[in-house]
Amino acid sequence: MYKKILIPAIIIILGLLSCNEDFLTKQPKGAAAGLVIESPEGIEAILIGTYASFRGTSMNGAMGTDWTYGSAYSDDCHYGQFGGSNWDVMDRYNIRFAFPGFIDRWRFCYEGVSRANRVIEFLTKNQQGERPILSERAIQIEAEAKFLRAWFHFQANKVFEYIPYIKTEAELAPTLPENVQNSDHGWDGIEEDLQFAIDNLPVTHPLGEVGRPTKFAAEAVKAHAHLYQKEFEKAKELLDDIINNGGFELVSNFYDNYDMTHENNTESIFEIQVATTATSHNSLYPAGAAFHQKGPASLGGWGFFNPTQLLFEAFQVDNDGFPILNISDREPLVNDQGLSSKEEFIPTDHLLDLRVDWTIARRGIDYLGWGIHPGAAWMREQHINGPYMTKKYMHFKSEQILNNYGPGFYNGKNYRLYRLAHIILWRAEIAVEEGDLDYARILVNKIRDRAKNSTPVMGLCKTYSDLENNPLVDWTQPAANYKVEPYPPGHPSFSNIEEARNAVRMEIRLEFATEGHRFFDLRRWGLDNSVLNDFIQRDQIMTNYMKGAIYDPEEDDFWPLPPEEVELQKGILRQDSSYLNYQYAYYK
């Protein structure tokens, strides 16, 4: 496979250069025609093409956002289906029976790896040529390429249990890239490349372009990798450096991390740059198409990626404004599944964390200025997939002027891959494991204080039926009954390690819901079996197609390698033992 994509990747990169530079700055840089590939200009251009691989070219590869593997495969969201189709294999944990998206994930990851390796190879030739790049910039280019190479391998590592770590031929000699076996998780290579990036990237963005990683971005990714391996002391050192020396600050409003007018803000450590123009786009999400449904914001959509009732109910709080950590203690909340938009529905008045309505789109709540969500009229297969839509991936109607490619399906919204909130809550996880429970509480409260003081969704809807036709709304009032409070000293949620773990993990869920992390978090916490099977039992009351589903942690925790790749590199790549008899087919 690796031989196959070396030369095509170079050709693809050169073809993409003029339209993909906005992954770094959103500012058009002009065409790269005529550049010599080993020249300084050519090296920079190939590096730009590597950044372009962040998004892949299909929604199920889920590059960047991980919506398929991290969210739709968890208790946060359903992948969703059209009535009677077989796409519910993801929801039912039946991935051994024909979900083709993992093939795209493999291909996108290793195309990105190949591009990063080409940067390193041609940089070496450049340094031996007549127009060498100045040494300071050359080492930065190598560090950027190795950061990217590590990230693409990490994205493969999350989905496939054992991966080959592919470096340049010079680095691997005498082994050829196509002979590298997938004998482990790839952690050593990931950590080595990220350490090179940490040692050689500046603390500010290279070339002043916000899409390029800094030392702190490399530290964030490496800390994340250590958390996956439960190497808490190693992660702690990196997280503390980011907190103490990175100069990052939490933005004042929770949703400033998702709107288009606060991109690359003081909280952002590394975000994937996205842009649209009148003739093209590099959107990360086939935006409205996959995640949104019908209605004015999306021009009609495919209806995938529906938040679950259990996620909605996770946002309920007690009378003091604290999360209800035990799922059995939460109250069932009313929903409008199966009701038409013309039928009466009175939403819950239960106290809720205000982040809920910046995360989940639901009936009776303003949808980012596009209007009060009317329920079924804006949803595809609402009676099957549930009554909720995701919200973090859509832009405000007021931001439509920033999108030249039309509403909904594609927008120029960046994806905040790593931000300070991640770092704070990961550091809180480590504090719990160290028994420093009060420090964990203080860290969690940084996030809760921000949520408490954030602007809520406004617009209290007083109309309960036919919301598409001039609903009565009091725009001076919050849209629902919100309350969020920080944990005081001595709160029971931080009285022992087990309770504190639950409190920190809940905060991670509330802060990052639908952002592609949940399944991977459950797996690294060792909770995937208990949480997902409990979810199946609770959720099938609303989603009939979940009846009979089972999550098996021995078989369903990773995806199979593409069978054609295993066949192509027979004796080199080994299939996950859970899928030795795997058969797949693309759904037509």
Q: What is the DSSP letter of 355?
A: T
Contact 408, 298 (CB under 8 A): yes
Give residue 40's domain range.
1-60+102-200
Domain count, the chain: 1
Q: Which residues contact residue 65 at a Cβ distance below 8 angstroms, ignoring those fewer than 6 apart?
A: 284, 285, 393, 415, 515, 516
Give the pLDDT confidence score for residue 30 in this predicted structure: 35
Instruction: Tell whether the model's pLDDT for residue 111 goes beyond 90.
Output: yes
CA 61, distance to chain mean position in Å, is 12
Q: Under DSSP, is residue 177 helix (H, G, I), strand (E, B) or coil?
A: helix
Mean pLDDT of the chain: 88
Give the pLDDT confidence score for residue 292 in this predicted structure: 66
CA 63, distance to chain mean position in Å, is 8
Question: First CA to last CA across the chain, in angstroms?
Answer: 25
Which token pair is 423?
């770092």
- Residue 129 belongs to some domain of the structure: yes
11-26 confidence digits (pLDDT tens): 444 444 433 444 343 4
- Residue 139 belongs to some domain of the structure: yes
287-337 confidence digits (pLDDT tens): 445 566 777 777 667 778 899 999 999 999 999 999 999 999 999 999 999
- Residue 509 belongs to some domain of the structure: no
Beta bridge partners of 588: none
Give the pLDDT band (50/70/90) at residue 62. confident
249-271 confidence digits (pLDDT tens): 999 999 999 999 999 999 999 99
The reply to whether the predicted model has a pTM over 0.95 is no
CA 81, distance to chain mean position in Å, is 21
Nearest to 43 by CA among 112, 137, 151, 165: 137
- Residue 173 belongs to some domain of the structure: yes
- Residue 188 belongs to some domain of the structure: yes
Does 489 sit behind a cis peptide bond, omega within 30 degrees of 0 on the bond before it? Answer: no
Determine the Cα angle at 122 with ends 10 and 414, to 5°.
Answer: 60
- 323-331 long-range contacts, CB within 8 A, separation 24+: 323/353, 323/503, 323/506, 323/507, 323/510, 325/493, 325/499, 325/502, 325/503, 325/506, 326/502, 327/534, 327/538
Share of the chain above pLDDT 70, in %: 86
Beta bridge partners of 306: 78
How far is the C-alpha of 86 from the C-alpha of 84, rounded, in Å?
A: 7
CA distances (Å), 488 to each of 315, 421, 492, in order? 19, 20, 9
340-385 confidence digits (pLDDT tens): 999 999 999 999 999 999 999 999 999 999 999 999 999 888 888 8
Place of tokens 């591009």: 115
Nearest to 122 by CA among 46, 34, 48: 46
- Residue 137 belongs to some domain of the structure: yes
- Residue 273 belongs to some domain of the structure: no
- Residue 5 belongs to some domain of the structure: yes
413-428 confidence digits (pLDDT tens): 889 999 999 999 999 9
